[in-house]
Structure 1
Amino acid sequence: MRLTFIKKDLTRHRLISIGLTICIMMTSFLATSAAQMIVQLNGSISDLLHLAKAPDFVQMHDGTLNEKDIETFSSKQPMVKAHQIVPMIPIEHTNIRFGHEQAKAGVMDHLFVKQNRYFDFLLNEQNEKLAVNKGEVAVPIYFQQKYQLKIGETLLIEKGSNQFSFRIKAFLRDAQMNPSLVSSKRFLLHHEDWDALHQLFQKKEYLIEFLLHDATQADAFQAIYQSSQLPQQGPAVTLPLLRMLNAMTDGMVIAILLLVCMLLMSIALLSLHLAVTASIEEDEREIGILKVLGVPLTKIKQLYVGKYAVLACSGCIAGFGLTLLFGDRFTSNIQRYMGNQPSFTSWFIPLFVSIMTAMIVIYCSYAILRKFGQISAAQALQGGVITPNDKKQIPLHLKKNRFIPINIWLGLKDLLSRKKLYTTITCIIALCTFLMLMPIQLLHTLQSPDFITYLGSGKSDLRIDIRKGNHLEKSTNDIESMIREDRDIRASTLYETSSLQAKSMENTLETLYLETGDLSAFPLSYLQGRQPLNKEEISLSVLSADSLQKEVGERITLVTNGQQIQRTVTGIYQDVTNGGKTAKAISQPISQPALWKTIQIQLKPGVEMAVKKAVFEKKIPLGKVTDMQEYVDQTIGNTASLVKVVAFSSTLAAFGTATLMLFMFLHMLKAKDSSRNHMLRTIGFSIKHVTAQYITSFIVVLSFGALIGTIAVHIIGPALMSIGGASLGVSSLQWLAPQWVSIVYPITLFIVSLAFTALLLKTFFSSQTTRHTLS
């Protein structure tokens, strides 16, 4: 009996069953895909860090060093298991060619290294320790994707009449420098080639690396190292930070997928409520007959729960199948940069998530049917199983209506009489709007020129980075002289970055990267307080303020070259560069050499940025010239590209889901209002009149749904994104999308939904009722 009932009911409500199954399938697909990404990301990162033997603490250093001092320090520290010093040769993009294509200027440093002996290995695409022969080079995956490189192509390094040609043997994975957020990339050479290259490019930078007996003591060891007088002219990172940087790009996509999944699950459960309600109201007389015949209530419930169990299981199985077929598209970036490590959990956990999704749907269908126990057989035979008092009397009298057309008035009265019923579809439209608009807002925010403020820099047109070792002072003076003579430039400012230390509340020392210059020329947006206005003031990034436990108005002690100076914290801003621990001031507290210098430029209106950038690149071979949009793209480009895919998919899902839910809702109304509509047709209302009444109700419902969803995106959305960004230094994300985004997309959803509603109403009424007379 049960199987016969399920089969007949599914056949009778074929389209509703298909729509509900599709909604459950998409929910299951996204949930299992997110679970698969989490498992894959966690396993791949752990495997990469393990096989590469990633260091627990790394101090980058740009300058000279004494290896004996580091060896002495390491031998006296019981935490240290091993240490090594990794020399790197930095080479400017102007000296590098990939095949016949000149390397492009950008934020990335090109660092050439030898394979390490003890730990911090560079790996191939099978996560095996790389070895290259003389005349060969291994190129980072980042540049493989940027320049579409292939094995066997040539990498040329030129300086004057000297030229080195290397055949690309492999594309490497680097546990330290894989992410695009890290603005340095390592190329692997044979040791003889490296020595020959060093004869021509004598400038070196260093990685001072430590393995600890207990990796959990990395933060404590960092405090000890940075309290010493050892080399530390550059950023420092720990193993947890390396793990976080590797996880950021795909982690953001996982967060969005989980959010989309929860929205779809909410829509699916609301849709389930509509489907159950519609089905039972159609079958109310049959239910009454079954109760009169003595069929137990539990048996009746099982008939309906069985039907939705079939739909839930079918949808979840299909969703899990889609994950097996297309899940690699979500994990392709993880597999490319960190490797694929198939394991039992990589398919078991997504399967478990799919099963849990089905169980949630089945449980909710059972919960909806609980109200059966409150309905007697007589009530069921009379009708009104689910909503016996659905319509409430609204004090709107037709004889008092003088201004509103009768059909609009009847539509509004019906809407107010059945607020609970229409609230369900309003919530569904609001969720669909949120589902569509949230990823789109995030995408436009990541692509906005103003997003540079989250990277610790003011908004400008062009940025020129000048690094130490390239005759820093002379290069800077030459560039500044050229800029002063350029009539296309409206404003420019020089900023210097140096390294110093600050005392924490526990009296330990932490390294800060202090940028100084005219902060009012290209101002930042501050979360708290304001920018420094005099030499006695300083502002801190979010992570610096949290680490040092400083608030606006408090004093901070800066330490450099054995001297201590106090400054007042005037503001806190957001920054994700250099590990997120930076500071800003108008001048250096103590005169010391700069690590690097940056010139920000604002062009006059009408000046082509691309043309001016090309001119600067030719005239400034010793500096990196980037426009600020390019700077953002190179830093978070991978993240933005993945968010773009999610945004497109979410938009399609929102339109598709809204369409399916409107169909189900209207199908329910068709059954629910058959008597009402028959009466209206009998007393003289035409199909056009009745349709106008429903259209009136749906205009209000769709408008409110789209408006509520849009408001929720602007209120809740930034808070949700800020939760994920807090650990990276972005604790207060605001949408930077153009205003038209919040208008065009919801209006488009409204128009499409209303047009679909009108089409369905026309179809329903053309096949349902004919005019009757009172005779």
Structure 2
Amino acid sequence: MHAILTLCFAHIKKRKIQNVLLAIIIMLSTLLLATSVTILMNTNNIFEKTHHDSNGAHQILTMGKDIHNPNTVNNWWQEQQGVSASNLIPYRNLSGFTANGVETTNLYLFMMNTPKTPFVVDRLLFSEGENQDYPTEGTIWIPTSMATTSNISLGDTIEFNTGERAFSLSVSGIVVDLPYGGPFTGNARIWMNDSDYHKQFDTMIGSEEYMMGLRFDDYQQSANYWIEFEKFLKGPYLESKKTYESIAAFYLIINKIIGFIMIAFGVAMLFISLFIVGFSISDAILTNYKTIGVINSLGLTSQKISATYVLQFGLLSVFSIILGLIASTILSRMIIESSLSYLKAGKHLTIIQDFRITMLLAVIILVIVILTAFIYSNKARHVKPVQAIKYGMSEYANNKLNRHLNNSNRLSNLVHLPIQLQISIKNITKNMKSSILIIVLTAITSAILVFSAVIYNSFISNIKQNTPALGYDSSHVVVEVSNDATFSKQQFEQFLRSDDRIKNHAWLDQFTGVFPNGTNQPLNINVDTIEGSFEDVGYGTISGRNPVNKNEIAIGINVAKALHKNLGDTVEVYIEGKQHHLIVTGIYQSIANMSKTARITADVIKVYNATYSASEQSMINLVDETLSAQIVDDLNNKFKSSVKVDTQQTLLDAVYKEVIAVLIIPLSIIGILFIAVTFIIIFIVSRINVRKESGTYGIFKSIGMTPNTIRWSITFGILLLSSLGAMFGIFIGVKVIPVALQSIVLEYGLLELPLVINWPITIGLSFLSVVAACLGCWVSTKIIAKTSPRILLVD
């Protein structure tokens, strides 16, 4: 045992830099895998814990369209055993607010008349502020999502505008509000004091609406309750219903993508580290072949010699895995705190570090490394002392080397290449395994960098270009009617028609549509209703076309999937309590509401309501888009008492920038890690290859070739290999990774990720892996310049 330990530590000490770098690679692969497992495990757990702690609703019902009697509905649910139903909570709708001098118009507000807490369902969890029974007069509670995106803190004053007058309230609490407080949300519940609520809204034109939450003891039985409920109603429930699935979806999407990517690249890094382990052992056996033969002849068995390598890499792995697990706790907390910040009730999220899973992962990685070391170290068992002492290798390997040299000589006679190029080609062809590794490694690194660049370019830099593929319009200016009482649609349209900067416009309303679904629960979804043309304002479809006539409808892909409908099929839908049978003319994808939406023209509503005229939102296209800011100012000044106007770009930036930043940060970290790993591995591989060819390079130096010429020749070969890898990486980052993510994004309403590629930036970033590879090679070959030709020849 003493001999094994002595040889083991001698190997570690002899190649300190190589062993340290290999330990770093194993540590990084452990870091990525452990972090991804922690993220995926905690994402669901944290959401479920928050949902449990808040006694969260499984379904939210909203009423107020004079279709159902809210009290009748609430009373029925209150009487059901196995269901917790909240009381009716009255609210009024507002659009936008002003905080810290900045006006926000893309958030639709439910101004809630706060009942005394704790609520039966959907209890508010305080992230900041004092937990009171209800907001004190003059103050409000706001959700964490609104506070984060608009940089609102406790004590800040928020101004709201009813269209008739403005009023201000200060923030006394920031709360986790699960149903309307997640990423990508376009709504927020503002919890008001009863006195403030009545003071501001009792005289406001329009009707009060109501909201209630349902929590089932067994959510799987909810369908049975709904069957009985619709028997009670003598028909389907025809108003808005928000389900648990839609509440949970967007809290989880970012971390699902991050976890998927981290697992994929963590596994890739682990395989690369295993390759390096095998490569290092093979090189060590080959380099020390004669020494192994001598030791073997002195009585140390091949099994014990093999054990020295297994022990060496086992010790390195234990040290690396421990460091990787420690680092993963820090990285996973950073990512989870960032991506699930909306669920933070207090200073920190309660992140679960499951010791059993962590240890299982550590053991799996350690066993895989030791098994790899054992398999490759078995080559030491085949060392024959006589051949080792005579040839410094096996007789078979010696004959193979001679044949290779003869072939190389014949090749060099046929092709008269510059000596530098011959060195490059020889270095590539003689070390095929390391050449393949360099291609694979740079391909993976480039793929990560390219995918990060494509995501940033598609969802931040060029989000406006991508809106049709995400289910939004691509108009230039969006107008939100904030006060029906003071708004004159006739005057507004007259202004638009008289302005030669306006190219076209359309009006959009939203209704709740109910689609009967056989024995399953009906789909209660938003139906976008347009007065104008969907095509003019840029709404896209993935098949078919948008509706034009009063008997047509376009549906989201998840609606089509749920109803088993395709182009040309007829769907039954209830809108405002009226039944329609419409022909499906188009199917589209939309991340908003997970593609559980539909589109119709205003003519459908006019079938039962001849005087209907859409007046919630207007989308305007300009002759010259650069005039958007000017049009926004003009419309806000002229109709400031009744509308709020913004550019579409402003609204999109507000929704996507923060959420995508959560995704870009982990991708950037992984990219930086792989750049570092590329440098480390190329350094190790090049150092091993230089050592194997030390005699040849000594001859080159002795006949007058400068060290830098030799180094440039070797580096040029690495440049060729890494450039090839970078090209593969571009393909993987643009085509393969998005396809691999399809199973995740499909759940959220996207059949495919709409990508906008900036080729100069994409290509430029991909070649960072090439720079790292060439730099690693150049640094590792510095030994050629430092070492004298005589020592190289002796080595």
Same-fold call, TM cutoff 0.5: yes
What does residue range 154-169 of structure 1 map to in structure 2 within 5 Å? Answer: 154-157=157-160, 165-169=168-172
- Residue number in structure 2 paired with 1:555: 570
Indicate whether 1:255 and 2:257 are aligned.
Answer: no
- Residue number in structure 2 paired with 1:718: 738
State which drifts further: 708-717 or 202-211.
Answer: 202-211
Describe the shift of the 1:429–1:561 C-alpha distance in structure 2 as closer, same or farther (beyond 3 A).
closer
- Residue number in structure 2 paired with 1:66: 69
- Residue number in structure 2 paired with 1:412: 425
The whole-number CA distance in structure 2 between the counterparts of 1:387 and 1:62 is 85
- Residue number in structure 2 paired with 1:605: 624
- Residue number in structure 2 paired with 1:401: 415
1:503 CA drift (Å): 3.8
- Residue number in structure 2 paired with 1:151: 154
- Residue number in structure 2 paired with 1:121: 123
Residue ranges of structure 1 left out of the alignment (5+ in a row): none
The whole-number CA distance in structure 2 between the counterparts of 1:640 and 1:209 is 30
1:541 CA drift (Å): 1.0
The whole-number CA distance in structure 2 between the counterparts of 1:770 and 1:477 is 95
Indicate whether 1:589 and 2:604 are aligned.
Answer: yes
Describe the shift of the 1:160–1:456 C-alpha distance in structure 2 as closer, same or farther (beyond 3 A).
closer
* Equivalent in 462, 465, 472 of residue 457 of structure 1: 472
What does residue range 47-196 of structure 1 map to in structure 2 within 5 Å? Answer: 47-61=49-63, 63-64=65-66, 66-71=69-74, 73-74=76-77, 80-93=83-96, 96-98=97-99, 101-109=101-109, 111-115=111-115, 117-125=119-127, 131=133, 132-157=135-160, 165-196=168-199
Instruction: Tell me, yes or no, if the aligned pair for 1:681 and 1:771 is still in contact at 8 Å.
Output: no
What does residue range 487-566 of structure 1 map to in structure 2 within 5 Å? Answer: 487-504=500-517, 506=519, 509-515=522-528, 516=530, 517-532=532-547, 534-560=549-575, 564-566=579-581
1:608 CA drift (Å): 4.4
1:664 CA drift (Å): 0.5
Describe the shift of the 1:284–1:626 C-alpha distance in structure 2 as closer, same or farther (beyond 3 A).
farther
- Residue number in structure 1 paired with 2:672: 652
Instruction: Tell me, yes or no, if the aligned pair for 1:687 and 1:765 is still in contact at 8 Å.
Output: yes
* Equivalent in 204, 207, 211 of residue 207 of structure 1: 211
- Residue number in structure 2 paired with 1:358: 366
* Equivalent in 31, 46, 49 of residue 44 of structure 1: 46
| TM-score of the pair, normalised by structure 1 | 0.88
What does residue range 271-282 of structure 1 map to in structure 2 within 5 Å? Answer: 271-282=276-287
The whole-number CA distance in structure 2 between the counterparts of 1:640 and 1:158 is 30
The alignment partner of 1:443 has SS state of: helix
1:185 CA drift (Å): 0.8
The whole-number CA distance in structure 1 between the counterparts of 2:471 and 2:227 is 24
1:547 CA drift (Å): 0.9
The whole-number CA distance in structure 1 between the counterparts of 2:680 and 2:309 is 21
The whole-number CA distance in structure 1 between the counterparts of 2:579 and 2:236 is 19
The whole-number CA distance in structure 2 between the counterparts of 1:371 and 1:224 is 73
1:222 CA drift (Å): 5.9
- Superposed CA deviations along residues 88-122 of structure 1, whole A, max 9, x for unmatched, are 222333xx443x52542224435334046421222
The whole-number CA distance in structure 2 between the counterparts of 1:368 and 1:97 is 67
The alignment partner of 1:133 has SS state of: coil
Describe the shift of the 1:283–1:630 C-alpha distance in structure 2 as closer, same or farther (beyond 3 A).
farther
Alignment-mate amino acid for residue 640 of structure 1: I
Indicate whether 1:26 and 2:28 are aligned.
Answer: yes
The alignment partner of 1:105 has SS state of: strand
Instruction: Tell me, yes or no, if the aligned pair for 2:236 and 2:516 is still in contact at 8 Å.
Output: no
Instruction: Tell me, yes or no, if the aligned pair for 1:58 and 1:210 is still in contact at 8 Å.
Output: yes
The alignment partner of 1:522 has SS state of: coil
Instruction: Tell me, yes or no, if the aligned pair for 2:454 and 2:734 is still in contact at 8 Å.
Output: no
1:544 CA drift (Å): 0.7
The whole-number CA distance in structure 1 between the counterparts of 2:296 and 2:243 is 69
1:476 CA drift (Å): 4.3
Instruction: Tell me, yes or no, if the aligned pair for 2:694 and 2:792 is still in contact at 8 Å.
Output: no
Instruction: Tell me, yes or no, if the aligned pair for 2:129 and 2:174 is still in contact at 8 Å.
Output: no
Indicate whether 1:733 and 2:753 are aligned.
Answer: yes
- Residue number in structure 2 paired with 1:331: 336
Indicate whether 1:635 and 2:643 are aligned.
Answer: no
The alignment partner of 2:180 has SS state of: coil
Alignment-mate amino acid for residue 330 of structure 1: I
Alignment-mate amino acid for residue 617 of structure 2: T
* Equivalent in 476, 480, 485 of residue 498 of structure 2: 485
The whole-number CA distance in structure 2 between the counterparts of 1:501 and 1:176 is 20
* Equivalent in 285, 302, 316 of residue 297 of structure 1: 302
Describe the shift of the 1:579–1:235 C-alpha distance in structure 2 as closer, same or farther (beyond 3 A).
farther
The whole-number CA distance in structure 1 between the counterparts of 2:165 and 2:548 is 50
Describe the shift of the 1:676–1:239 C-alpha distance in structure 2 as closer, same or farther (beyond 3 A).
same
Instruction: Tell me, yes or no, if the aligned pair for 2:130 and 2:172 is still in contact at 8 Å.
Output: no
- Residue number in structure 1 paired with 2:693: 673
- Residue number in structure 2 paired with 1:429: 442
The alignment partner of 1:740 has SS state of: helix
The alignment partner of 1:40 has SS state of: helix
Instruction: Tell me, yes or no, if the aligned pair for 2:59 and 2:242 is still in contact at 8 Å.
Output: yes
Describe the shift of the 1:427–1:768 C-alpha distance in structure 2 as closer, same or farther (beyond 3 A).
farther
Residue ranges of structure 2 left out of the alignment (5+ in a row): none
- Residue number in structure 2 paired with 1:580: 595
The alignment partner of 2:727 has SS state of: helix
Identity of aligned residues (%): 16
The whole-number CA distance in structure 2 between the counterparts of 1:562 and 1:108 is 24
The whole-number CA distance in structure 1 between the counterparts of 2:387 and 2:501 is 83
| TM-score of the pair, normalised by structure 2 | 0.86
Instruction: Tell me, yes or no, if the aligned pair for 2:83 and 2:215 is still in contact at 8 Å.
Output: yes
Instruction: Tell me, yes or no, if the aligned pair for 2:505 and 2:620 is still in contact at 8 Å.
Output: yes
Instruction: Tell me, yes or no, if the aligned pair for 1:31 and 1:261 is still in contact at 8 Å.
Output: yes
1:293 CA drift (Å): 3.1
The whole-number CA distance in structure 2 between the counterparts of 1:632 and 1:651 is 27
Alignment-mate amino acid for residue 65 of structure 2: G
1:396 CA drift (Å): 6.4
The alignment partner of 1:120 has SS state of: coil
The whole-number CA distance in structure 1 between the counterparts of 2:615 and 2:7 is 76
Instruction: Tell me, yes or no, if the aligned pair for 2:595 and 2:749 is still in contact at 8 Å.
Output: yes
1:47 CA drift (Å): 1.8
The whole-number CA distance in structure 1 between the counterparts of 2:72 and 2:216 is 18
The whole-number CA distance in structure 1 between the counterparts of 2:480 and 2:764 is 39
Give the aligned CA root-mean-square deviation in angstroms.
3.6
- Superposed CA deviations along residues 237-285 of structure 1, whole A, max 9, x for unmatched, are 2223322232223333333333342333233233333333333333222
Alignment-mate amino acid for residue 320 of structure 2: G
- Superposed CA deviations along residues 667-687 of structure 1, whole A, max 9, x for unmatched, are 110111123333444566554
State which drifts further: 155-164 or 409-418.
Answer: 155-164
- Residue number in structure 1 paired with 2:715: 695
State which drifts further: 562-571 or 247-256.
Answer: 562-571
The alignment partner of 2:88 has SS state of: strand
The whole-number CA distance in structure 2 between the counterparts of 1:667 and 1:214 is 63
Alignment-mate amino acid for residue 722 of structure 1: Q
Instruction: Tell me, yes or no, if the aligned pair for 1:499 and 1:595 is still in contact at 8 Å.
Output: no
Instruction: Tell me, yes or no, if the aligned pair for 1:498 and 1:596 is still in contact at 8 Å.
Output: no
1:744 CA drift (Å): 1.0
- Residue number in structure 2 paired with 1:11: 13
- Residue number in structure 1 paired with 2:313: 308
Alignment-mate amino acid for residue 630 of structure 1: T
Alignment-mate amino acid for residue 314 of structure 1: F
1:139 CA drift (Å): 2.1
